[in-house]
């Protein structure tokens, strides 16, 4: 994701579909810049 607000929006949408955020990790794929990517782990919640 390029924008934390977009990531938050998308996570909310997935939670509405029955997924749960388990973990979020920042990844520095662009050294010597201020840009950081995010990797998230979502799992399907079984009812």
Q: By residue range, what is the domain housing residue 40?
A: 4-44
2 is a catalytic site residue: yes
| Domains in the chain, number | 1
Phi and psi based region of residue 18 (left: phi greater than 0; alpha: psi -120 to 50; beta: remaining): left
Give the Cα separation of 15 and 7 in Å (integer): 12
Catalytic residue among 2, 5, 17, 27: 2
pLDDT digits (tens, 9 = 90+) for 4-40: 899 999 999 999 999 999 999 999 999 999 888 999 9
Whether residue 46 is predicted with pLDDT greater than 90 in this model: the reply is no
pTM above 0.85?
no
**HSE-up of 35 (CA within 13 Å, CB side)?**
8
């Amino acid at each position: 994701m390029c924008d934390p607000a977009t990531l938050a929006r998308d996570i909310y949408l997935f939670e509405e579909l029955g997924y749960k955020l388990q973990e979020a990790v920042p990844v520095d794929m662009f050294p010597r810049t201020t840009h950081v990517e995010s990797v998230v782990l979502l799992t399907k919640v079984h009812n």
